[in-house]
Chains A and B, each alone.
Chain A
Amino acid sequence: MNIKEIENIVEGILFAMGGTVEPSKIAKALEIEDKQVVEAVNSLKASYEKDKRGITITEIDGAYQMCTSPDIYEYLIRIAKQPKKYVLTDVLLETLSIIAYKQPITKSEIEKIRGVSSDFAVSKLVEFGLCAELGRLDAPGRPMLFGTTEEFLRSFGVSSIEELPELSQSQIEEFKIEAENEANNVEVTI
């Protein structure tokens, strides 16, 4: 089976299946190696990109899913009804970013960072399907652990948790310098 054939099959499978499909599943069906599937998907993606096609393939947590290209949004939205969008308030976003970066995490750990009760925010995020209960921490009271879902990755266009925007040490240093510069401009006495 040459790569072109694999590409064609993968394309058809991803189109028909809709949701996420793991490369290993396709590899098993085609009786080929996983890495051949990955190769085919990458090559397919490259050719979509080269031809500026209306569709593309995205990776979510190691699986593939077909989606539209952002370039066609403007036209697509005139035909497709805009899906109901939930607005994430600052509180929800703050809570979500803490969960995303520190997962699995308990509510009390979130509260410690935010300095406020986070019951409402967490339950709202679970309701939106962006976060889910992951089980319980083996500690007194067996508190519930929370983490992000596949829907979270999809909504934020990241293929895995590792791909989340990183707040590097240099950025933290930047904060520090920024704050110091500000401090230098004012006379401060305690």
Chain B
Amino acid sequence: MEMNVKLQVFEGPLDLLLHLIDKNKVDIYDIPIVEITDQYMEYVRAMDNSDLDVMSEFLLMATTLLDIKSRMLLPREEKEEEGEEQEDPRAELVQQLLEYKMYKTISYQLRDRQMDASLVFYKEPTIPEEVLKFEQPVDLEELMSDLTLNKLNDIFQQVLKRQDNRRDPIRSTFGKIKKEEVSLEQKMEWTIAFARAHNTFSFRHLLEAAHSKTEVIVTFLCILEMMKAGQINITQEDTFKDIVIESKIAA
């Protein structure tokens, strides 16, 4: 129970880290990683680990801390002759903490604003929606005043012509390629019926009815499906030999 309270206090690993930094009164730019990591780990160990999502976020930060800790403990490479300054392993974490702290501060300011703003009441719209949305109806007579049947016909012819022009004269002579569709369901029905009518049959025999590669594949799937359902037994003497199917549902 106590742990739950802790989880509510710290909204996340960054929150906990900020708390530890504040508590230890240390400089955010110069975090004593070893101490902070130890204290952080203490908190993590004490946590109720029933919520894995939350826990994993805290653990991820723990690994980051341990990684930084180990990098800080390692002797630093001497790179001075290149004039290159070694980057502080804490830099990225510090940046993240600063940004987080900034938004935390802002959120307090927003809370104050909200308090002030709640003293003001707004005038809600009182004019009904249908009145606000009202639009002058269209005057049909005015709209169609200069429209004659002949003009309508002209426009219609133009539309047809435009449609015609859009057609590619070469491509339109091409034949259509039909998508081949073999439904597993239908093939299943057919295969079951076949198995009912025959005691033993070969897979090759079954394929005589197949017209395409897809159909062969679907037939094979049917056989697998029926095998799973225990409707058939299958034997094959050797690789590439005929598959012999023994029907258990034969009439």
A85 touches B118 (CB 8 A): yes
Give every chain A residue within 8 A of B26 (Cβ-Cβ).
Answer: 179, 182-183, 186, 188
Contact-residue bracket for chain A: 35 or more
A165 touches B100 (CB 8 A): no
Q: Which of B40-83 contact A (CB under 8 A)?
A: 53-54, 57, 61, 72
Q: In the bound complex, how far is the Cα of B103 from the Cα of A93, in angstroms?
A: 9
B120 touches A67 (CB 8 A): yes
A76 touches B32 (CB 8 A): no
Q: Which listed residue, A14, A97, A175, A179, touches B103 by the CB 8 Å rule?
A: A97
Give every chain B residue within 8 A of A115 (Cβ-Cβ).
Answer: 12-15, 57, 61, 96, 100
**At the interface with chain A, which of B106-114, B152-160, B242-250?**
B106-114
B116 touches A113 (CB 8 A): no
Residue among A85, A88, A90, A117 having the largest count of chain B Cβ atoms under 10 Å: A90
Q: In the bound complex, how far is the Cα of B108 from the Cα of A68, in angstroms?
A: 25
B14 touches A156 (CB 8 A): no
Q: In the bound complex, how far is the Cα of B99 from the Cα of A172, in angstroms?
A: 10
Q: In the bound complex, how far is the Cα of B115 from the Cα of A73, in angstroms?
A: 12
Give every chain A residue within 8 A of B25 (Cβ-Cβ).
Answer: 182-183, 185-186
Other 14 A-B pairs with CB < 8 A, given A114-B103, A157-B116? A68-B122, A88-B114, A91-B11, A97-B103, A113-B99, A116-B14, A117-B53, A155-B117, A165-B110, A183-B27, A183-B30, A185-B25, A186-B24, A190-B34
Which residues of B are in contact with A by a Cβ distance under 8 Å?
11-15, 24-30, 32-35, 53-54, 57, 61, 72, 96, 98-111, 113-114, 116-127
